[in-house]
Amino acid sequence: MSIPEPSTPKATLPGATLYAMRRDPLTFFTQLAREQGDIAHFSLSDHEHDLYLLNHPDYIREVLVTQDRNFTKWFAVDRIKDVLREGLFVSEGDFHLRQRRLSQPAFHRDRIASYADQMTLLAVRLREDWQGGAIVDVCREMNWLAMMIVASTLFGADIESDAEEIRAVVSDILDQFERSVLPQADRDDFEHAMARLDAVIYRMIKERRASNIDKGDLLSMLLLAEDAEGSREKMTDRQVCDEALTIFLAGHETSANALAWSWYLLSQHPEVEAQFHTEVDRTLDGRTPRMNDVANLVLTARIFAEAIRLYPPLWAIGRRAVRECRIGDCTIAAGSVVILSQYVTHRDPRWFPNPEAFDPNRWTTEARSGRPRFCYFPFSGGSRSCLGEGFAGMEGALCLATLAQKWRLKLVSGHPIALQPQLTLRARHGIKMRIEPRV
Chain positions contacting ligand HEM, by CB under 6 A: 73, 88-89, 100, 150, 246-247, 250-251, 254-255, 258, 308, 313-314, 317, 378-380, 384, 386-388, 391-392
Q: Among 213, 206, 234, 232, which Cα is nearest to 222's? A: 234
The answer to whether 218 and 106 are in contact (CB under 8 A) is yes
Shortest distance, position 15 Cβ to ligand HEM, whole Å:
29
Is the Cβ of residue 391 or residue 434 nearer to ligand HEM in the bound state? 391
Least CB distance to ligand HEM at residue 384 (A) = 4
Looking at the Cβ atoms of 205 and 425, the one nearer to ligand HEM is: 425
Measured CA to CA, the distance from residue 42 to residue 330 in angstroms comes to: 13
Nearer to ligand HEM, 68 or 162 (CB): 68
**Smallest gap, in angstroms, from Cβ of residue 401 to ligand HEM?**
16
Smallest gap from Cβ 90 to ligand HEM, in A, equals 8
Q: Min. distance of Cβ 332 from ligand HEM in angstroms?
A: 17
- Rounded to a whole number of angstroms, the minimum distance from the CB of residue 392 to ligand HEM is 4
Residue nearest to ligand HEM (CB): 388
Q: Is the CB of 96 or the CB of 269 nearer to ligand HEM?
A: 96
CB of 7 to ligand HEM, least distance (A): 25
* Closer residue to ligand HEM in complex, CB, 13/112: 112
HEC secondary structure over the chain: CCCCCCCCCEEEECHHHHHHHHHCHHHHHHHHHHHHCCEEEEEECCCCCCEEEECCHHHHHHHHHHCHHHEEEECCCCCHHHHHCCCCCCCCHHHHHHHHHHHHHHHCHHHHHHHHHHHHHHHHHHHHHCCCCCEEEHHHHHHHHHHHHHHHHHHHHHHCCCHHHHHHHHHHHHHHHCCCCCCHHHHHHHHHHHHHHHHHHHHHHHHHHHHCCCCCCHHHHHHHCCCCCCCCCCCCHHHHHHHHHHHHHHCCHHHHHHHHHHHHHHHHCHHHHHHHHHHHHHHHCCCCCCHHHHHHCHHHHHHHHHHHHHCCCCCCEEEEECCCEEECCEEECCCCEEEECHHHHHCCCCCCCCCCCCCHHHHCHHHHHCCCHHHCCCCCCHHHCCCCHHHHHHHHHHHHHHHHCCEEEEECCCCCCCEEECCCEEECCCCEEEEEECC
Select 309 or 362, whichever has its Cβ closest to ligand HEM.
309
Of 208 and 384, which has the nearer Cβ to ligand HEM? 384
Based on CB atoms, which residue is closest to ligand HEM, 63 or 435?
Answer: 63
Nearer to ligand HEM, 39 or 425 (CB): 425
Rounded Cα gap, residues 336 and 9, in angstroms? 15
CB-wise, 308 or 435, nearer to ligand HEM?
308
- Closest approach of ligand HEM to the CB of residue 69, in Å: 14
Residues sharing a CB contact under 8 Å with residue 433, sequence separation 6 or more, in sequence order: 135, 136, 137, 138, 263, 264, 267, 409, 410, 411, 412
Nearest to 387 by CA among 100, 157, 19, 68: 100
Residue 197 or 435 having the CB closest to ligand HEM: 197
User: What's the closest the beta carbon of residue 317 comes to ligand HEM, in angstroms?
Assistant: 4
Closest distance of CB 65 from ligand HEM, Å: 11
**What does DSSP say about strands 432-437 and 135-137: parallel, antiparallel, or unpaired?**
antiparallel
Smallest gap from Cβ 66 to ligand HEM, in A, equals 15
